[in-house]
A and B are shown apart, each in its own frame.
Chain A
Amino acid sequence: MSEVVVSGVGMHPFGRFDGVSTTDLGVAAVRAALAEAGVGQGGFQAAFCATAYGGVATGHKVLSRLGMTGMPIVDVEAGCASGGAALMLAAGAIRSGQYDTVLVFGTEKMPRGIIRSSFFEPWQEAAGLAATPAFFGLRAQRLAMTSGVTKAHLAQVVVKNRRHGVANPDAMYQKEVAAAEVLASRVVCEPLHLFMLCSPNEGAAAVVLTADTGPPPSNGSPIRLAAAVLRSHLPGAVLSESTPLSGLTDDTVPSPTTLAARAAFEEAGLGPDDLQVVECQDTDAARELLSYEEIGLCGAGGSAALLESGNTALGGRLPVNPSGGLLSKGEPLGASALGQVVELVRQLRGQCGSRQVEGARTALSHTVGRGANAGVVILTR
């Protein structure tokens, strides 16, 4: 079985770009990743394009603009984990020997405001039960009950990630916020205030994966894709990202994130203690803390203590979201997971300047969202 390495990454910054199309965004990211990998026309045998709102044949439109078609081009939709799903398909194809080099990219322009999702039936919208932030709020309240997470903790997550984002030129918000400002922003759905929620926005990210058979890349030590796993939900958890109308009074049903993380650690032959840097889903501040517990960065109920320890901030033992996270970058669904992977590849190469996690050798990316879908990617150098 071939090992899979990352031979090039590229990004279009995340933000709002009026007059720039979904195709334009994708072209910028793909061009950068192919240039870094030294791959031109005919240099990859398949392409997977992650997008949720891009529409029909988004990937084809991007690659047509670059004069690179003829190979299979497949659009992949798995909610917030779309990029993780695309990466899993590409890595599997390379490992099996089907392809040597595969292009994976995500591109997205999200509608403004609360995300309208075709996931919900019209009656759920009419009944007010398609209020996405309310599900985040309910999950945050449960985390308060089970893990002692307070509003001060939620504000601390925002302050941490926004501080990290100051040093990221690809982030939408590159300005610090104080806890008092977070808590003074309007309540969207208790206990979540506006600044505790990420902004749906626009952007693109691209990754070139290659079978590890060729000469070492010219841009430094190779970054190995040690695991790329996608899992869906098991039924029973009422506040799961699968957004059911009911669940069981059984708190032992593992979350899709836990299922994906366990499988990824097994695939990589590694555990949470081996990580030096993590990018995780922080759609809202509570989601980051829940991710700590579900990935296994701490035990159940331990997320508030882990945050308080300072270990998940830059300079700590295991910085989480050194890119600034979605709270700083915003979230273009199809591009968010690959944006994390781009950040982590740059972290492992030591290219991140003042937000660099010194000496990072093993990194984990995590996305989870509607479906439910959870993607976990582990990278090593």
Chain B
Amino acid sequence: MVREGLFTDADPPALLGSRCRSCRAYHFPRHDTCPYCAAAEPEATELSRRGTLWAWTAVTAPPPGYEGDTPYGMGVVELPEGIRVITRLTESDPAQLVAGQAMALQVVRLHADAEGNDVVTFAFAPTGAP
């Protein structure tokens, strides 16, 4: 896992977020202080596994510090909790995607670490034809 505490590796997986006890806004990743109203200790929550596509592109050359394959999709998915999440997308051809289409969370492989173990992260995948 690329970093502990971002998502569950259950099947299906879920993003680990938090929700402010005061202003009720949701956060991703988990915060210990609400960025919107500065209230302490938001409650931990799992976020919806499904959302809709709000923006998307593809990265065509490896950015600094990245050891995985290119091109890869990157975008923003809107969740029913009223938040938009920056995420990898399983689709790396922008022409295959449309605004508002249904997306679902997956765990995807990035690269192998020094011991040969797969390093994985979260990504959203289209759930059907656009």
Contacts and interface: CB of A to CB of B under 8 A. Distances in A.
B66 A128 contact: yes
Interface string A164-204: 00000000000000000000001111110000000000000
A321 to B, nearest CB: 25
B63 A246 contact: no
A245 interface: yes
B44 to A, nearest CB: 15
B19 interface: no
Interface in A206-264: 235-236, 238-239, 244-250
Interface of B: 2-3, 6, 17, 25, 27-29, 35-36, 55-61, 63-68, 72, 74-76, 78, 82-86, 88, 94, 99, 110-111, 119, 121
Contacts, number: 118
A121 B69 CA distance: 20
A189 B58 contact: yes
B14 to A, nearest CB: 14
Contact of B2 (A127, A190, A249): A127
Interface of A: 113-116, 120-123, 125-134, 137-138, 141-142, 145, 186-191, 235-236, 238-239, 244-250
Given A127-B121, A249-B78, 20 more contacts: A114-B64, A121-B3, A125-B65, A126-B2, A126-B67, A127-B66, A132-B63, A133-B59, A133-B63, A134-B59, A134-B63, A138-B75, A141-B56, A189-B57, A189-B59, A238-B76, A238-B85, A246-B84, A247-B84, A248-B25
B57 A128 contact: no
Given A127-B88, A138-B76, A190 B25 contact: no
B27 A246 contact: yes
A246 B85 contact: yes
Given A128-B66, A128-B72, A123 B3 contact: yes
B121 A125 contact: no
B57 A141 contact: yes
